[in-house]
C-alpha cells in the first residue's frame, strides 16, 4: 500500500494540500496477483483502479504515468484507460468494492481506534458521516446521502492488512449508497469509509 500511495503522489507531483488533505479520491488494491512462496506474484500483470471527484486530477495523473511509468514492486504501467462514471439515478445504488472498506471508530482521543466491520451496525453511521463530510468539502449538498453495508450478501468477509506498523481489519462487502444521482456518482469516485487515499473503500 505505501508503494501504491507513493506512485500516485509521485505521478501527481508535489502537492501538500492533496497529500495531507481530505482524500476526494480512491485507490484500489492491485488485482491479478497469485499467492506464492515469496508473496504475491503478478505473472500476467496487474490491474489498479484510481478514481477522483476532480477530473483534472485524473488527467494530471495520466500525464505523470506517461512521464514515469514505473510503479514499483517490479511493475511498469503498460496501459492506462480513462473510464467515464456510470449514469446513476436518484435513489439507492448497490455497489461492489474493489478494495476492503475500512471503518475507524475513535472512542477516546489518544487511544487506538476500534476497527468496525460490516457486522457492526455502527459502521453504517460512520460510512454515512464520512461521505457527507466529503460532500461538504467538495461544495456539494449532503442532504439525504447515506451508505450502508449489504449484510445480506452471502460472500461478505473481513480482511486483515497491515499499514506501516498498524494491523487493520476491513470489510470485503458490497455497499448500498442512497442519495441523488450526483451524490451516488461522488461516492463512486471518492470511495467509502476511511483511508480511501491509502487503498481502501474503492468502488465499482
Q: Which DSSP helix (H) or strand (E) runs through 158?
A: strand 157-163
Least confident residue range of 39-43, 60-64, 73-77: 39-43
Question: Mean pLDDT throughout 139-168?
Answer: 94
What the chain holds in terms of domains, given with CATH numbers, is 2-76 (no CATH), 91-198 (3.30.70.1900)
How many Cα neighbours within 13 Å face the side chain of 46?
19
The pLDDT confidence band at residue 171, using thresholds 50, 70 and 90, is very high
The pLDDT confidence band at residue 32, using thresholds 50, 70 and 90, is confident
Q: What is the pLDDT of residues 73-100, one digit of tens each?
A: 788 898 988 889 999 999 999 999 999 9
The answer on pLDDT for 20 being more than 80 is: no
pTM of the model: 0.91
Question: Mean pLDDT throughout 119-134?
Answer: 97
Q: Could you give the C-alpha distances from 165 to 115, 162, 168, 172, 182, in angstroms and in order?
A: 15, 7, 10, 22, 37
Question: Mean pLDDT throughout 117-135?
Answer: 97
Amino acid at each position: 500500500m505505501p508503494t501504491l500511495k507513493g506512485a500516485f503522489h509521485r505521478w501527481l507531483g508535489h502537492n501538500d494540500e492533496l497529500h495531507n488533505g481530505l482524500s476526494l479520491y480512491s485507490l484500489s488494491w492491485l488485482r491479478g496477483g497469485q499467492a506464492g512462496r515469496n508473496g504475491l506474484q503478478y505473472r500476467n500483470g496487474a490491474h489498479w483502479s484510481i478514481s477522483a471527484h476532480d477530473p483534472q486530477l485524473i488527467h494530471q495523473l495520466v500525464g505523470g504515468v506517461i512521464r514515469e511509468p514505473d510503479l514499483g514492486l517490479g511493475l511498469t504501467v503498460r496501459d492506462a484507460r480513462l473510464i467515464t462514471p456510470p449514469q446513476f439515478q436518484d435513489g439507492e445504488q448497490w455497489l461492489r468494492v474493489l478494495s476492503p472498506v475500512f471503518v475507524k471508530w475513535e472512542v477516546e482521543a489518544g487511544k487506538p481506534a476500534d476497527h468496525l466491520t460490516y457486522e457492526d451496525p455502527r459502521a453504517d453511521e460512520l460510512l454515512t458521516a464520512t461521505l457527507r463530510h466529503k460532500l461538504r468539502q467538495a461544495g456539494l449538498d449532503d442532504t439525504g446521502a447515506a451508505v450502508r453495508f449489504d449484510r445480506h450478501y452471502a460472500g461478505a468477509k473481513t480482511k486483515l492488512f497491515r499499514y506501516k506498523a498498524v494491523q487493520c481489519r476491513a470489510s470485503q462487502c458490497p455497499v448500498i449508497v442512497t442519495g441523488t444521482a450526483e451524490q451516488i456518482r461522488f461516492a463512486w469516485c471518492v470511495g467509502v469509509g476511511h483511508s480511501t487515499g491509502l487503498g481502501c473503500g474503492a468502488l465499482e
